[in-house]
C-alpha cells in the first residue's frame, strides 16, 4: 500500500503531514516506510531525529564517445536521433552534454561503428535509516544535477523492499519529479493552505492528479489563516477535505524547530488520527490493505 503526500507549492506543510502521520501509525504497531522523495530539499530525517545508517552513491549511464572509431559527419545518427539534444557535432567531434542525457541508450544502439560506450554520471546519494519504528528511505540530489526522477525511482524501489504501509513525501509542485513520486500511489493526500497562492497551486496539482487518474483528498493546513476560496473550490469540484489543521503559533513554533506536532502539541494527535480515519474512508485500497 502506497500513500503519497503532495502539495502544489513549497511551505504548505507537506512534510509535516507525512512525518506526523507516519509517527502515529508506527505507534499503532503498523509497519511504516517513509520514502522521502523530495530529493532536492530532503528534511524528513530532521523531524524524525534519524541518523543515516546507510548511504550509497547513485549513478546513471551516459554515452562516452571513442573519437577514433566515430564516423563523424558522414554519420551523425546519434546526434540526429537524440530527443534531448544531449549530443551535438562540434567542428570535428561529437560532444556529450551528460546533464541533458536521459540514459535511454538509443545512441549506443544506433551507432554503426560501435564508437559509443557507457559512461556514468553521479546523480546523488541513496540513504536509509530507522527511527521511532519507521523505516526511512531518502535521496539527496547532487548539487547541479538537473533531473531528480532517476534518484526518486531508486528511493521508491528501495522502499518497495519493505513490507507494510509506504508513505511517500513527494516534492512540491506539478512537474516531472512529482509525477515520478506519485504516479503509482494508491491514494494521494494534497496539503494546501487557504491563501490565494495556495489556491492557484492547488488547482494545478488537482489537474495533474486527475490526468493521472489518481484518487485524492485534501488536507487544509493552517486553517483559519486565509479566506474561504480554497473551500469554495473544493466544494465546487467535489473534492473531499480529509482534515483541517488549525493555524496556530504554537504549532508553527514546534514545526520550525524540527519537532513532531503529535508529540509536542496535545491537540494534533487527534487531528492526525482523524486524518487517518478519513483516508481509510475515502480510499478503498487503504481499507482493504488494512483488513488483510
Q: Domain residue spans in the chain?
A: 2-49+132-291, 59-122
Q: Tell me, what's the pLDDT at 286?
A: 59
- pLDDT exceeds 90 at position 216: yes
Cβ-proximal residues to 24 (8 Å cutoff; 6+ apart), any chain = 262, 269, 272, 273, 276
- What is residue 30's three-state secondary structure? coil
Tell me what the mean pLDDT of segment 199-205 comes to: 96
What is the rounded distance in angstroms from the CA atom of residue 15 to the CA atom of residue 19? Answer: 6
Architecture per CATH, domain 59-122, reads as 2-Layer Sandwich (3.30)
For the chain, the average pLDDT equals 94
Interstrand relation of 134-141 and 116-131 (parallel, antiparallel or unpaired): antiparallel
> 114: which 3 cell numbers?
560501435
Chain centroid to Cα 245, Å, comes to: 22
Interval 57-78: pLDDT, tens: 999 999 999 999 999 999 999 9
- pLDDT exceeds 60 at position 151: yes
Cβ-proximal residues to 13 (8 Å cutoff; 6+ apart), any chain = 7, 191, 193, 219, 221, 222, 245, 255
HSE toward the beta carbon, residue 149, CA cutoff 13 A: 13
Interval 30-57: pLDDT, tens: 999 999 999 999 999 999 999 999 999 9
- pLDDT exceeds 80 at position 283: no
What is the rounded distance in angstroms from the CA atom of residue 188 to the CA atom of residue 282? Answer: 11
Q: Which homologous superfamily is 2-49+132-291 in?
A: P-loop containing nucleotide triphosphate hydrolases (3.40.50.300)
- What is residue 141's three-state secondary structure? strand
Tell me what the mean pLDDT of segment 195-199 comes to: 92
DSSP letter at 231 equals H
Cβ-proximal residues to 256 (8 Å cutoff; 6+ apart), any chain = none
Cβ-proximal residues to 76 (8 Å cutoff; 6+ apart), any chain = 89, 94
Cβ-proximal residues to 190 (8 Å cutoff; 6+ apart), any chain = 6, 7, 8, 202, 205, 206, 209, 216, 217, 218, 219
- pLDDT exceeds 50 at position 11: yes
Q: What angle do CA 28, 34, 40 make, to 5 degrees?
A: 155
Amino acid at each position: 500500500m502506497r500513500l503519497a503526500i503532495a502539495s502544489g507549492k513549497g511551505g504548505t506543510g507537506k512534510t509535516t503531514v507525512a512525518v506526523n502521520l507516519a509517527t502515529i501509525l508506527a505507534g499503532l504497531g503498523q509497519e511504516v516506510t517513509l520514502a522521502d522523495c523530495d530529493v532536492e530539499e530532503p528534511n524528513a530525517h530532521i523531524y524524525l531525529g534519524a541518523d543515516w545508517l546507510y548511504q550509497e552513491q547513485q549513478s546513471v549511464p551516459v554515452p562516452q564517445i571513442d573519437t577514433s572509431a566515430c564516423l563523424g559527419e558522414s554519420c551523425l545518427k546519434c546526434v540526429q536521433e537524440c530527443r534531448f539534444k544531449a549530443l551535438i557535432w562540434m567542428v570535428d567531434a561529437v560532444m556529450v552534454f551528460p546533464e541533458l542525457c536521459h540514459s535511454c541508450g538509443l545512441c549506443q544502439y544506433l551507432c554503426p561503428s560501435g564508437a559509443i560506450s557507457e559512461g556514468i554520471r553521479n546523480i546523488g546519494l541513496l540513504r536509509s535509516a530507522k527511527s521511532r519504528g519507521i523505516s526511512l528511505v531518502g535521496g539527496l540530489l547532487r548539487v547541479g544535477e538537473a533531473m531528480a526522477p532517476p534518484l526518486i525511482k531508486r528511493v521508491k524501489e528501495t522502499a518497495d523492499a519493505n513490507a507494510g504501509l509506504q508513505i511517500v513525501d513527494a516534492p512540491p509542485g506539478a512537474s516531472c519529479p512529482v509525477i515520478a513520486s506519485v504516479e503509482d500511489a494508491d491514494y494521494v493526500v494534497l496539503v494546501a493552505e487557504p491563501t490565494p497562492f495556495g489556491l492557484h497551486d492547488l488547482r494545478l496539482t488537482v489537474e495533474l492528479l486527475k490526468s493521472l487518474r489518481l484518487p485524492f483528498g485534501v488536507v487544509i493546513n493552517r486553517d483559519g489563516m486565509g479566506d474561504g476560496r480554497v473551500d469554495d473550490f473544493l466544494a465546487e469540484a467535489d473534492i473531499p477535505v480529509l482534515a483541517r489543521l488549525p493555524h496556530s503559533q504554537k504549532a508553527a513554533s514546534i514545526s520550525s524547530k524540527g519537532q513532531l506536532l503529535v508529540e509536542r502539541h496535545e491537540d494534533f494527535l487527534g487531528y492526525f488520527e482523524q486524518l487517518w480515519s478519513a483516508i481509510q474512508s475515502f480510499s478503498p485500497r487503504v481499507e482493504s490493505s488494512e483488513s488483510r
